Structures are given as structure tokens and as C-alpha cells.
Amino acid sequence: MADPAKRYQVDPSRYYFRTNPLFETSAAQYAWMNDIVCIGSGYLVEGGIAYNICQIV
């Protein structure tokens, strides 16, 4: 996975990326984000990893 030239040769069923993002802001318009719980699932893209982030309700 560390070698950019070979990471796409790894079968996606053999790995996973998960995250639990934490938001912290003092901006009034985004203050609601301070109190939400989210999870994310990642996947490889050209140049790195992208995540789908979802709020748990």
C-alpha cells in the first residue's frame, strides 16, 4: 500500500479504511458539527485515499 506504483495491484477485498472524524469549530454557522457523530469508509483514488463520511443519527 505504501508504494504508489503497486498499491492498485492489491485486491480491494483484502483491505479497508475506516475513520471516526471529530469536528471542532468556533464558527457559529458550523457549531452544530461539534455535536454530531460520524463514520467514514475509505477507498483508493489517484494520489491517495477518499472517504465517504456519514452522520450517525
Distant-in-sequence, close-in-space partners of 45: CB < 8 Å, separation ≥ 6: none
| pLDDT (0 to 100) of residue 12 | 76
Residue 34 placed within a domain: yes
pLDDT tens by residue, 10-22: 777 888 899 999 9
Instruction: For residue 1, give the amino acid letter.
Output: M
If one counts the domains in the chain, the total is 1
Please name which of 31, 32, 56, 52 lies closest in space to residue 40, comparing C-alpha atoms. 52
Q: Which domain holds residue 12?
A: 7-56
Name 9's Cβ contacts closer than 8 Å, sequence gap at least 6.
none
pLDDT at 2 over 80: no
For position 43, what pLDDT does the model report? 86
pLDDT digits (tens, 9 = 90+) for 27-43: 999 999 999 999 999 98
- Cα–Cα distance between 7 and 27 in angstroms, integer? 39
With respect to residue 30, please indicate whether it lies within any of the assigned structural domains: yes
CB 21 within 8 A of CB 15: no
| The pLDDT of residue 23 | 95
